[in-house]
Amino acid sequence: MSNYGGPAFPGGSSYYTVDLVGNRTDHKSAPLYAGMTLRDYFAAHFIERAQSLVEDQGARDLPTAACLAYQMADAMLAARALPPKQQAEGA
């Protein structure tokens, strides 16, 4: 999986300075903390349901539930990359 969706909650800073004549200069810096990836965010929201699905099969296997959550996150990222019409059709 090479598409992690980028940061879920990117942080960073930008600011501007004004010189003595009133000229404004905008400054941008790199994110201070990129945070969790969007893939992690999606998986975190699905983990409880994944655990329920695993338990419904009569097991309490946390690694399997975690893998299932990330599989769902990968599917969500793939669907997100589709054009809106294909998203609506469930392609």
* pLDDT tens, residue by residue, 32-81: 556 788 899 999 999 988 888 888 888 778 888 899 999 999 999 898 88
For residue 17, tell me if it sits in a domain: no
Domain count, the chain: 1
Token pair in block for residue 75: 């599917």
Q: Is residue 75 part of a domain?
A: yes
Q: Check residue 28 and give its pLDDT.
A: 73
Please report the pLDDT score of residue 75 as a whole number: 92
Instruction: Say if 61 falls within a structural domain.
Output: yes
Q: Which helix H or strand E contains 51, and what residues bound it?
A: helix 38-56
For residue 16, being part of any structural domain is answered with: no
1-10, 17-26, 31-40, 80-89: segment of lowest average pLDDT: 1-10
Token representation of residue 9: 């909650």
Alpha-carbon distances, residue 26 vs 12, 19, 32, 35 (angstroms): 14, 12, 17, 24
Residue 85 reports pLDDT greater than 60: yes
Is 57 part of any domain?
yes
- Let me know if residue 5 belongs to a domain: no
Q: Residue 80: which residues within 8 A CB-CB, separation 6 or more?
A: 5, 87
Give the C-alpha distances (Å, rounded to integers) separating 4 from 28, 59, 63, 74: 24, 29, 20, 8
Alpha carbons within 13 A on the beta-carbon side of 6: 6
Residue in the block written with tokens 């469930």: 90
What pLDDT score does 2 carry? 59
Inside any domain, residue 60: yes
Residue 48 lies in a domain: yes
pLDDT at 73: 93
What is the domain extent for residue 45? 35-89
Regarding predicted confidence, which is higher, 90 or 58?
A: 58
